[in-house]
C-alpha cells in the first residue's frame, strides 16, 4: 500500500507532508493567484436570482455562496472568451464593491486559504500582480489580501510578485513578517534578499539569469549558486533559502524536465541537506493533456532528485496519491518518458492519450 | 509525380525527414517552388486551425512548424532564384522585464509557416531594440508579447518609440495572456491577436495581404 507512508503529521498546529523516506516536503499552496480562472458554462459560474453572473461555491458549512463578478471584469475579453478570473473578482469586490460584495469577496479568499491550509500547505502563495495595471491598486490588493489570509488561517503567506515594491507592501501589512516566504529574488532582483534579511524570513531565489530564462543545466546551477551566495552574504541561513531552478514546459522544451532534475541533483550535492530546492512543478505539463498524471509523476521524480519544497496546488497534488502510484504502471512510464525527454514532444504520450490508454487521468 | 499531398501530410505530422525529402523530389521534378510553398503554407494553416479547435496540442504544432522550417530551407534558394521574396519581414519579441518565451515563439513559428520573414529578438527586449531591428531589417510589422500585467504596460512605450522614430510603414501588433483588444487600441497598437493561429491572419490583414480563403 503506497498510501500509508505519506501520512500527514502535525507540527505547530499545521499538517506537514512527508516524503516516503520520512523527511518533510514543504508545500507552497499556489491557489491565491490573480490569474486563476474558472470556466463560464462550467459548474462554478452561474446566474444568481438577482440576474447577476456569479462564481458559485460551497463554504465550509456546505452553504452555497455567490462571489459577484465585478462590472470591470465582466467587460474584459477573458469573460467573453469564457474565463472568469475568480481571485481577481474577489479582490475587486473587496476594493471597489459595496459592503455586501466586499463581504463575499473576503469570504471567497478565506475559503481559498482554509482549503489549502486543510490540505497541508506550509505557506499560501499570494500573487496579485495581474489584478490591475495600476501600482497603487496592486499595492492595496496585497495589503488587503495578506490581512485577510492571516486572519483566516495560521499558515503563513508567501508574498509572490515580480515587483519588489509589492513584496515590501505585503511585508509591511503582515502581522508576523518573520514567518513569511518571499517569492522571489534573482540575479536581476537582489533587493528582495535585503527585504528577507531585514524581516528575518525565508526567501525563494530563482535561477533566472540576466535577461532571460536559463537554457541548460550549467546555466541553472551557475545562476542559482550566484544568488545563493548573495543571500548567504546578507546573513540568510541556508535553511531559509528555497532555490527554484525553474520548471519550463516539456511541451516546448523536451529536455527542460531532465535539465531541472539534473540541476536539482547538482545543487543538492553542492549545498547539502539544509538548502531547500523548490519549483512550480505543474508548469512542466503545460500544453499537454492528462496533466495530473504528468504532475504526479514529476513531483515523484523531483523529490527523488532532491526537491523538498514545491509551489503547487495542495488540493490537486495529493501527495498520498503521488507516492501511491506504481512507477512501473504503463501510464506512469509514459509520463516519465515525456518528462525525461525520452519521448520528445510527448508524441507517444499523445498517441496513448488518444487511444484511451490514459482514461481517467485528469 | 511529385507527392505534394504527401508533403502536406508530412508537415502536418511534423515528419521532418519526409517533408525535406518530398520537397527535394518536387524540386528535382521541376515543380514551381512557389507552388510548393503554397502547399506548405496551406498545411500550416490547417495545423493552426486544428490547434485553435483544441484538436492538437502545443508540441504537435511545434514539430509541424519545425518540419515546415526545414523544408523551407531547401526551398529558399529556388524561391529566390525564381525572384520570389518573403511577402514581408516581421520583428517579434517579448517586452522589457518579461522573460516569457513560449507565446512569442509560437507566434513567430506560425508566421514563418505563413512564409513571413521573422526576426526573433527573444525576451526582455527594450523599446529601442525593437525600433533598431525594424529599421535594420526593413520590417513591416513589430509583434509584441507580454505575459504579465506589470510588463504589458511596456507595450505602450514600444508603440511610442515606433511612432517617434517615424517608422510610418511599420505596424505594431500585440498579444499575450493579459492583453485584450481593448488594451491594444488604448495604447495605439495597430493590431491584436488572441492566439498564435489568429496572429497569422491578423498580421496579413495589417499589411494588406488578407487571404480571402481565410
Query: Using 50, 70 and 90 to split pLDDT, how confident is the model at A303?
Result: very high
CATH number assigned to the domain comprising residue B96: 3.40.50.280
Verify that B126 and B168 share a domain, yes or no.
yes
| Spatial contact of A20 and A323, defined as CB atoms under 8 Å apart | yes
Q: Please report the pLDDT score of residue A79 as a whole number.
A: 74
Check pLDDT > 60 for residue A14: no
Which of A221-235, A345-359, B72-86 bottoms out in mean pLDDT, i.e. has the lowest?
A: B72-86
Residue B179: inside a domain: yes
Verify that B57 and B161 share a domain, yes or no.
no
CA A94 to the chain's CA centroid = 23
Place of cell 472568451: A81
Number of inter-chain CB pairs under 8 A, A vs B: 77
The mean pLDDT of chain A is 91
Residue B46: inside a domain: yes
Handedness of CA B197, B203, B206, B209 (dihedral sign): negative
Q: Please report the pLDDT score of residue A5 as a whole number.
A: 36
Residue B212: inside a domain: no
Domain that holds residue B69: 4-81
Q: Are strands A53-58 and A45-47 parallel, antiparallel or unpaired?
A: antiparallel
What would the DSSP string read from start to end of A90-106? HHHHHHHS-HHHHHHHH
Question: Which contacts (CB < 8 Å, 24+ apart) does range A226-229 have?
Answer: A226/A187, A227/A185, A227/A186, A227/A187, A227/A190, A227/A193, A228/A271, A228/A275
Q: Are strands A24-33 and A309-312 parallel, antiparallel or unpaired?
A: parallel
Handedness of CA A140, A143, A149, A152 (dihedral sign): negative
Q: Can you tell me the distance from the alpha carbon of A253 to that of A247, in angstroms, rounded to the nearest whole number?
A: 10
Verify that B93 and B186 share a domain, yes or no.
yes
Verify that B59 and B101 share a domain, yes or no.
no
Task: Report which DSSP code applies to A156.
Answer: P
Helices in A70-207 by DSSP H: which ranges? 71-74, 77-80, 86-96, 99-118, 135-152, 164-173, 191-199
Q: Please report the pLDDT score of residue A10 as a whole number.
A: 34
What is the per-residue pLDDT across A236-283, written as a single tens digit (0 to 9) for each? 999 999 999 999 999 989 999 999 999 999 999 999 999 999 999 999
Verify that B202 and B97 share a domain, yes or no.
yes
Taking any CB pair shorter than 8 Å as contact, residues of chain A touching chain B are 34-35, 75-78, 81, 129-133, 138, 162-163, 208, 211-213, 249, 251-252, 254, 286-289, 345-347, 350
CATH number assigned to the domain comprising residue B22: 1.10.1240.10
Verify that B127 and B22 share a domain, yes or no.
no
Q: Please report the pLDDT score of residue A264 as a whole number.
A: 98
Closest-CA distance, A159 to chain B, in angstroms, reads 16
Query: Using 50, 70 and 90 to split pLDDT, how confident is the model at B141?
Result: very high
Residues A156-185 have a mean pLDDT of 97
Residue B71: inside a domain: yes
In chain B, residues 176-205 whose CB comes closer than 8 Å to chain A:
177-178, 180-182, 194
Cell digits of residue A328: 512501473
Cell digits of residue B202: 491578423
Q: Per-domain residue ranges for chain A?
A: 3-34+124-354
Residue B57 has its nearest CB partner, among A75, A213, A287, at A287
Q: Please report the pLDDT score of residue A77 as a whole number.
A: 63
Query: Using 50, 70 and 90 to split pLDDT, how confident is the model at A1?
Result: very low
Across the interface, whether the CB atoms of B59 and A251 are under 8 A apart is answered: yes
Verify that B77 and B93 share a domain, yes or no.
no
What does CATH list as the number for A3-34+124-354? 3.20.20.20
Number of domains in chain B: 2
Cell digits of residue A78: 477573458
Residues linked to residue A212 through DSSP beta bridges, in sequence order:
A209
Q: Can you tell me the distance from the alpha carbon of B52 to that of B163, in angstroms, rounded to the nearest whole number?
A: 33
Give the ipTM.
0.82
* Residue after which a domain boundary falls, among B81, B109, B143: B81
**Top-confidence residue, B17 or B114:** B17
In this prediction the pTM is 0.87
Amino acid at each position: 500500500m503506497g498510501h500509508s507512508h505519506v501520512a500527514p503529521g502535525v507540527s505547530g498546529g499545521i499538517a506537514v507532508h512527508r516524503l516516503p523516506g520520512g523527511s518533510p516536503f514543504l508545500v507552497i499552496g499556489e491557489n491565491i493567484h490573480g490569474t486563476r480562472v474558472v470556466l463560464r458554462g462550467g459548474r462554478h459560474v452561474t446566474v444568481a436570482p438577482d440576474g447577476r453572473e456569479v462564481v458559485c461555491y460551497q463554504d465550509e458549512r456546505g452553504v452555497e455562496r455567490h462571489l459577484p463578478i465585478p462590472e470591470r471584469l465582466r467587460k474584459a475579453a477573458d469573460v467573453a472568451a469564457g474565463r472568469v478570473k475568480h481571485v481577481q473578482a474577489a479582490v475587486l469586490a473587496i476594493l471597489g464593491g459595496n459592503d455586501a460584495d466586499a463581504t463575499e469577496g473576503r469570504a471567497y479568499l478565506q475559503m481559498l486559504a482554509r482549503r489549502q491550509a486543510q490540505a497541508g500547505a506550509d505557506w499560501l502563495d499570494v500573487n496579485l500582480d495581474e489584478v490591475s495595471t495600476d501600482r497603487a491598486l496592486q499595492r492595496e490588493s496585497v495589503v488587503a489580501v495578506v490581512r485577510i489570509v492571516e486572519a483566516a488561517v495560521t499558515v503563513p503567506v508567501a508574498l509572490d510578485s515580480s515587483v519588489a515594491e509589492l513584496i515590501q507592501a505585503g511585508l509591511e501589512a503582515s502581522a508576523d513578517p518573520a514567518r513569511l516566504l518571499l517569492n522571489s529574488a534573482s540575479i536581476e532582483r537582489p533587493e528582495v534578499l535585503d527585504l528577507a534579511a531585514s524581516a528575518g524570513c525565508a526567501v525563494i531565489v530563482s535561477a533566472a539569469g540576466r535577461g532571460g530564462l536559463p537554457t541548460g543545466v550549467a546555466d541553472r546551477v551557475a545562476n542559482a549558486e550566484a544568488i545563493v551566495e548573495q543571500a548567504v552574504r546578507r546573513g540568510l541561513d541556508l535553511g531559509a533559502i528555497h532555490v527554484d531552478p525553474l520548471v519550463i514546459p516539456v511541451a516546448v522544451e523536451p529536455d527542460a524536465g531532465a535539465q531541472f532534475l539534473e540541476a536539482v541533483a547538482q545543487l543538492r550535492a553542492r549545498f547539502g541537506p539544509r538548502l531547500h530546492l523548490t519549483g512550480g512543478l505543474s508548469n512542466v505539463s503545460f500544453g499537454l493533456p492528462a496533466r495530473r498524471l504528468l504532475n504526479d509523476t514529476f513531483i515523484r521524480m523531483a523529490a527523488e532528485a532532491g526537491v523538498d519544497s514545491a509551489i503547487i496546488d495542495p488540493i490537486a497534488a495529493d501527495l498520498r496519491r503521488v507516492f501511491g502510484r506504481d512507477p512501473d504502471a504503463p501510464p506512469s512510464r509514459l509520463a516519465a518518458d515525456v518528462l525525461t525527454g525520452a519521448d520528445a514532444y510527448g508524441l507517444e504520450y499523445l498517441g496513448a492519450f488518444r487511444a484511451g490508454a490514459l482514461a481517467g487521468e485528469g | 509525380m511529385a507527392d505534394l499531398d504527401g508533403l502536406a501530410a508530412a508537415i502536418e505530422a511534423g515528419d521532418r525527414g519526409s517533408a525535406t525529402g518530398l520537397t527535394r523530389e518536387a524540386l528535382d521534378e521541376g515543380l514551381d517552388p512557389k507552388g510548393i510553398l503554397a502547399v506548405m503554407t496551406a498545411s500550416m494553416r490547417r495545423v493552426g486551425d486544428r490547434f485553435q479547435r483544441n484538436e492538437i496540442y502545443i508540441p504537435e504544432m511545434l514539430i509541424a512548424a519545425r518540419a515546415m522550417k526545414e523544408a523551407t530551407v531547401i526551398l529558399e534558394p529556388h524561391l529566390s532564384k525564381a525572384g520570389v521574396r518573403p511577402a514581408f519581414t516581421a520583428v517579434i519579441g517579448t517586452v522589457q522585464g518579461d522573460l516569457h518565451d513560449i507565446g512569442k515563439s509560437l507566434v513567430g513559428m506560425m508566421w514563418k509557416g505563413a512564409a513571413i520573414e521573422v526576426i526573433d529578438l527573444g525576451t526582455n527586449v527594450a523599446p529601442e531594440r525593437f525600433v533598431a531591428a525594424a529599421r535594420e531589417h526593413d520590417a513591416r510589422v513589430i509583434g509584441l508579447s507580454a505575459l504579465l500585467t506589470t510588463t504589458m504596460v511596456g507595450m505602450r512605450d514600444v508603440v511610442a518609440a515606433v511612432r517617434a522614430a517615424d517608422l510610418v510603414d511599420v505596424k505594431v501588433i500585440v498579444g499575450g495572456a493579459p492583453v485584450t483588444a481593448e488594451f491594444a487600441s488604448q495604447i495605439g497598437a495597430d493590431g491584436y491577436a488572441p492566439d498564435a493561429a489568429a496572429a497569422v491572419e491578423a498580421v496579413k490583414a495589417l499589411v494588406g495581404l488578407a487571404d480571402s480563403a481565410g
